[in-house]
Chain A
């Protein structure tokens, strides 16, 4: 049972990690929690569904097109709902984000109905058995694609010029703009990348469960946000680590202690960890500059 639970936990942890990256990149730059991110993930999954169902797209096309469209959605949301409020008190964009979240999930219910849809692809249901261990094709895809995306993002942020500009923006917006960096563009880019990753996570999870529904972003959003905090919000490797850890903690506490207290246990661990290390596992200490 142990190794089976390990795989289950890793699979879901990878998904948390991909969503958590969106929270953490935005927070890293704007110090703002985009509560609509879970719904963006849901939208990405629905766009994939429409492409597969209505346009008979191949799975790869669905991934790519949905990622691009969802990235645009993320950028538009930032432009319309957050940017005009950037100079306002911190609490104001937060309320705006909650509004966007309600708007998106209600819009999805209007567009696609309130029920659950199946995901029209035959990919992923094949299983491989090694002794007691059962792997499905989609689990393999989730593990590999997530790792590849995370590695790619890490390379982009640390090794490229734009990535460096993005990191500079996250350190200080005024200083970065003094250096000639177009900070608005960097913020849009953070939203675009985060939303695209969420869309890919959304499609993969919908294939995994063979289900997509308008309120799927709610729980996933909360869990991914928790993962981002656990790993140290604002830190990209932290979000990856936090996601995977949270997936494993959830699974093992469910498996060996009690499913009834599954969430209680993972949140208790989060609280204890934050008491010991308030910035999260890989979070940077924020020094108060005078």
Chain B
């Protein structure tokens, strides 16, 4: 009896699981766009932002009647933030002829692993978040709507000089992303008269920073450059506060999130960062996106949701202009100029890297405001 029961339970489970996997079949009246990011694992929150951003873009066009009456459908695949999974997903997308283009992946290492497969199969993919410098050379079908870290870190080094910092400590994530930022900032620092007094790393997802901070405190820096994401940045700032370490903080667009403000509270007041997505300013697309996002999901969008939204919107526009075929999408991207996105006016250079102007932001009274 017991055995029978568990057999029934297993069958039910199998039906449920297969029902979940049964999305995105081939249909004549839909247009499929693949989206991939870490839906499970330690970086699941960024994958969720991808999904939300992309689905919002699809919903907008569908509410307006779709593309020539065809509905846009997002096919979401989980790459777990891992290169080998990303390669599997890329193969899956590439062999499904109904997928016209892909938004993905999150981690630079995942994008780099998947890019050869997309390029071999001549399928366009736009990464909303992979900012490592070497993604530039990943291939002619690889695009991204996030600027390369080489640009952001160099920009930040210049800004540090303007702010009058002489001694800066670097705390960076031990990953392609963190190391890329470290390299560029460290090599740009001397020409701006900045001394890098400490460079300490942590593992993605860690929460223990008191060792690093006690060490940094001894070097007495003017500012700490955080080369990582908002969660860790908030923890670093609050743990530093507990150690009576009061310094300035600078960082790149990866820190832009409501979560930084909620987790960090008073400790993140005065944070200075570069931003591309910034609602509440003169960019109407950003404001409209912000409003629609809050209405749809009941929370504030972070920078990655905005990038995913832009990447998906660009693909939708491409299909609208050049028809539902993979080659047409690429043609559109290559000659696209000043596409009005939530993260600014976007164009791609010959390497598929986005060209856009950043904004200097700071945290004031618990909110992001332009730095003046």
Contacts and interface: CB of A to CB of B under 8 A. Distances in A.
Interface string A117-133: 01000000101010000
B129 to A, nearest CB: 15
A106 B17 CA distance: 15
Given A109-B40, A116-B259, A260-B201, A216 B214 contact: no
Given A1-B214, A209-B207, A259-B202, A118 B263 contact: yes
Contact of B231 (A5, A113, A116, A134): A116
A259 B48 contact: no
A259 B218 CA distance: 15
B200 A134 contact: no
Nearest to A136: B242
Task: Name, among B214, B239, B262, the residue most crowded by chain A CB atoms within 10 Å (CB to CB).
Answer: B214
Interface in B214-233: 214-215, 217-218, 231
Contacts of A263: 203
B45 interface: yes
A259 B211 contact: yes
Interface stretch (A18-26, A190-198, A232-240, A250-258): A250-258
A254 B239 contact: no
A215 B210 contact: no
Contacts of A260: 174, 200-201
Interface size class of B (residues with CB under 8 A): 35 or more
B201 A5 contact: no
Contact of A125 (B41, B201, B242): B242
A106 B40 contact: yes
Interface in A209-236: 209-211, 213-216, 218-219
Interface in B237-273: 238-239, 242-244, 259, 262-263, 265
A211 B42 contact: no
Given A114-B44, A125-B242, A209-B235, A216 B215 contact: no
B235 A211 contact: yes
Contact of B207 (A109, A113, A114, A216): A216
A250 B207 contact: no
Contact of A218 (B42, B217, B259): B42
B208 interface: yes
Given A134-B242, A219-B206, A211 B211 contact: no
Given A254-B211, A259-B200, A259-B211, A215 B41 contact: yes
B242 A211 contact: no
A211 B215 contact: no
Contacts of A136: 242
A55 B336 CA distance: 54
A210 B210 contact: no
Task: Name, among B45, B218, B238, the residue most crowded by chain A CB atoms within 10 Å (CB to CB).
Answer: B45
A254 B218 contact: no
Given A116-B259, A259-B211, A219 B205 contact: yes
A9 B215 CA distance: 13
B229 to A, nearest CB: 10
Nearest to B207: A209
Contacts of A255: 211, 214-215
Interface string B133-156: 000000000000000000000000
B243 A134 contact: yes
Given A114-B45, A127-B242, A211 B263 contact: yes
A113 to B, nearest CB: 8
Contacts of B188: none
B205 A215 contact: yes
A8 interface: yes
B212 interface: yes
Interface in B167-193: 174
A158 interface: no
A215 B211 contact: no
Given A114-B44, A116-B231, A118-B262, A12 B208 contact: yes
Nearest to B41: A215
A117 to B, nearest CB: 8
A4 interface: yes
Task: Name, among A9, A136, A250, A254, the residue most crowded by chain B CB atoms within 10 Å (CB to CB).
Answer: A254
A109 B44 contact: yes
A208 to B, nearest CB: 9
A115 interface: yes
Task: Name, among B48, B202, B215, B218, the residue most crowded by chain A CB atoms within 10 Å (CB to CB).
Answer: B215
A225 B329 CA distance: 51
B244 A134 contact: yes
A215 B42 contact: yes
B310 to A, nearest CB: 22
A-B pairs, 9 with minimum CB distance: A114-B44, A114-B45, A254-B211, A8-B210, A215-B42, A259-B200, A209-B207, A115-B45, A260-B201
Given A215-B44, A219-B206, 4 more contacts: A11-B210, A114-B44, A118-B265, A251-B211
23 contacts: A1-B214, A8-B210, A109-B44, A113-B48, A114-B44, A114-B47, A115-B45, A116-B45, A116-B234, A136-B242, A209-B238, A210-B238, A211-B234, A211-B235, A215-B205, A218-B42, A219-B206, A251-B211, A254-B215, A259-B202, A259-B215, A260-B201, A262-B211
Interface of A: 1, 4-5, 8-9, 11-12, 106, 109, 113-116, 118, 125, 127, 129, 134, 136, 205, 209-211, 213-216, 218-219, 250-251, 254-255, 259-260, 262-263
